[in-house]
Chains A and B, each alone.
Chain A
Amino acid sequence: MRLLLIEDDDILGEGLRDYLRAEGHAVDWFRDLRQADAVRGEPFDAWLLDWQLPDGSGLDWLRARRAKGETTPALMLTARDRLSDRVIGLDGGADDYLIKPFAPEELAARLRAVCRRSAGAADGRVRAGGVWIDIQARGAFRDGQRIELTAREWALLEALALRTGRIVLKGELERLVHGSDAEIASNALEVHISSLRKKLGRDVISTVRGLGYRLDEGGTAA
């Protein structure tokens, strides 16, 4: 998943960025809202944002995004632990609310849950072709057997699975998988798609010529 992390504390921000990257996510970390606004329009699977930031309120930033119709799942990461704060945060557009301190494992699990719900896959599984893509278990399965995927291949498959049935543009897919600051070889995406098709089967990911790729739900996976 490509994640936007807005957190002004260096130790926490760096720790979360590295942890989530190790989990296979692409993380764009910014220390304030001004920097985060610089990547406005970029596709993200989720926003992780602090409430109290040096140049404003993360919640106000979120409200403004929601007012513009942006529906990217958002998790508030904040030290504000009062019940009233949680209510305000959730009513303000957050999909989940984590009170600091929290374990990064819990953050990763909540992220998966939020994105799963956002993608409409309540049980976290998408059936495509002959395979099950399990977002919760972070893997693809055929006949109950896990199909070995590299981290990059999984990131690509996850990005498509979270947008099942939708055409994902090539550029959007590249940014979702690699993040904004990754060096990407010009044909890297095609290489990974090709590799995925070999492992999953040709009927899982379809190419929409001149636009991008699409993962279609359905099939006969067991």
Chain B
Amino acid sequence: MSGGAPTTELARRGNAAPPAAREAAPRLPSIRRRLARAMLVGSLLSGLAVAVAVWLAAIEEVEELLDDTLQASAEVMGSLLPRHGEPIVVTAPTKSDERFAWQVVDASQRVVMRSARAPGEPFLPAALAGFADSAQWRVFGVALGDDGRTLYVAQTRAERAEAQFEVAMSSVLAALAVGILAYFWLSALVRHEWGPVQRLSDRLATHEPLITGATLGAAERSELEAVHRSVDQLGQRLTQRVAHERAFTAQAAHALRTPLAGIDAQLAVCLRESPPELQPRLQRVREAATRLQRVVAALLTLFRSDGEPVREAVDLDELLRQFPLERLRVELQATRALHADIDLLAAAMANLLDNAQRHGATRVTVSTPAADTLRLDDDGPGVSPQRRQALQSALDAQAYDDAPGLGLALADLVARAHGGRLQLLVPANGRGFAVELSFHPAA
């Protein structure tokens, strides 16, 4: 059931994608998801950057503040303490001792006065005015009088670090909270701003540009105005093209159908008037003309932009009686309902049966293995498994130039016009050629 001239136009006009394209549809990136991810990362990064900056600034400021406090305390205390010869005094513990300690060291590095928490040894190994650090303390020293005594006021380094950490951490948390809030706010904003795009998509789904005057209406956002304009212009171009195509197909239909009717009428008259010995030959010419009529009718329907198949219940017995196949015995084993466009189906079957006959088959079994599915098995020589696979691949890819002739190509297009497919099958008894046409959309 193959052979005949290939047609490039047919290859361009199939309306169903090959299975590979249907199955391997990749998951496309989502603008919303990408925006959400970018916003999340951006918010976190900016929050972190702000947090680091706040952290450093807070540490610095707290350090300065504590130092200023230390210095001020030392200066106040220095002005209040007695100038000469005090005994060693340890003051009573106070609440401020937890963070704060002081001592007075004489010229011989002996601690003469100190707070309860201050160590008995000097904070610093040598007298020093100004700031200095020991292992545990941050110290500010100030000279007391002119006898070599030094007042040290100190804070524990741990206490200072804790203060710095608390200030910095609360600032960082605030910065991060702002970042997270910014993320949720931006997400909600994107969702809200995505609404017009979604509504535009919904409108496009039901948009009928071929209805006169149909437009998308006013845009909801200025950015979408260009899309609305483009779609409306596309609709106008489409309408014009369809109008031209309709005019052309009407002309083409007239130009093709009328001569075919004329040929048939003339042949019918010839058959009546011709001598008996010419009648079989004329009859064959008329059969060929009838097949040509079916092919032309099917092609005109398939190539029309609004050539949707008109499905109806098919009486296969009646349909098969329309094919005068003298050298081919057709056996019908139809058990299930078949709904299809009668004209398209007739054109496909005429081509398949003609192919079978031309390739040496003497018998064809027509069956309905499933609802809206038609199978033809012939007893011809068939094709090798490799050839069958190559033919199927060509049909799947609609590369009708590569292998199948008009018969298979047309049958495939007819099945596709119904949303179905043509499959070449392994013959039931290992011999012959088997083809199955489904007329229902793929699940």
Contact = CB atoms under 8 A, between A and B. Distances in A.
A associates with B: yes
Interface of A: 9-16, 18-19, 22, 52, 77, 79-81, 83, 99-105
Contacts of B269: 15, 18-19, 22, 104
A14 B267 CA distance: 11
B258 A12 contact: yes
Interface string B227-270: 00000000000000000000000100110111111111111110
16 contacts: A9-B258, A9-B259, A10-B262, A11-B259, A11-B265, A14-B265, A15-B263, A15-B266, A15-B269, A19-B269, A19-B272, A80-B250, A80-B254, A81-B297, A100-B257, A101-B258
Contacts of A79: 250, 253-254, 256-258
B268 A103 contact: yes
B109 interface: no
B310 interface: yes
Contact of A81 (B253, B260, B268): B253
A15 B262 contact: yes
B261 A22 contact: no
A80 B252 CA distance: 10
Given A12-B261, A79-B250, A101-B263, 12 more contacts: A11-B265, A12-B259, A12-B262, A13-B262, A15-B265, A15-B268, A15-B269, A18-B269, A19-B265, A22-B269, A80-B254, A105-B268
Contacts of A9: 258-259, 261-262
A22 B293 contact: no
Contact of B257 (A15, A83, A101, A103): A101
Residue among A99, A100, A103 with the most chain B CB within 10 A? A100
A103 B269 CA distance: 11
A12 B272 CA distance: 16
Contact of B262 (A11, A22, A81, A105): A11
Contacts of B266: 11, 14-15
A28 B301 CA distance: 33
Nearest to B259: A11
B13 to A, nearest CB: 18
A14 B259 CA distance: 12
* Contact residues on B (Cβ < 8 Å of other chain), bracket: 20 to 34
B426 interface: no
A16 B264 CA distance: 9
B270 to A, nearest CB: 9
Nearest to B267: A15
B186 interface: no
B424 interface: no
Contacts of B258: 9, 12, 79, 100-101
Contacts of A11: 259, 262-263, 265-266
B300 interface: yes
Contacts of B300: 81
B338 to A, nearest CB: 21
Interface in B307-332: 310
Given A15-B269, A18-B269, A83-B310, A52 B264 contact: no
A104 B254 contact: no
A101 B268 contact: no
B265 A104 contact: yes
Nearest to A105: B268
Given A11-B259, A12-B258, A15-B269, A101 B264 contact: yes
B262 to A, nearest CB: 3
Given A19-B272, A22-B272, A100-B260, A12 B265 contact: yes
A99 B256 CA distance: 12
A195 to B, nearest CB: 25
A18 B270 CA distance: 10
A77 B257 CA distance: 11
Contact of A102 (B256, B259, B261, B296): B261
Nearest to B253: A79
Residue among A10, A79, A99, A105 with the most chain B CB within 10 A? A79
Contacts of A99: 257
Give me the 10 closest cross-chain CB pairs, A-B, nearest first.
A15-B265, A11-B262, A12-B262, A101-B260, A79-B257, A101-B261, A100-B257, A100-B261, A15-B266, A79-B254
Contacts of A52: 254
Interface string B259-296: 11111111111001100000000000000001001001
Contacts of B267: 15
A16 B267 CA distance: 10
A77 B262 CA distance: 12
Contacts of A14: 262, 265-266
A105 B272 CA distance: 12
Contact of B268 (A77, A80, A104): A104
Contacts of A77: 261
Contacts of B262: 9-15
A69 B299 CA distance: 40
A38 B214 CA distance: 47
Nearest to A50: B258
Given A9-B262, A83-B310, A19 B268 contact: yes
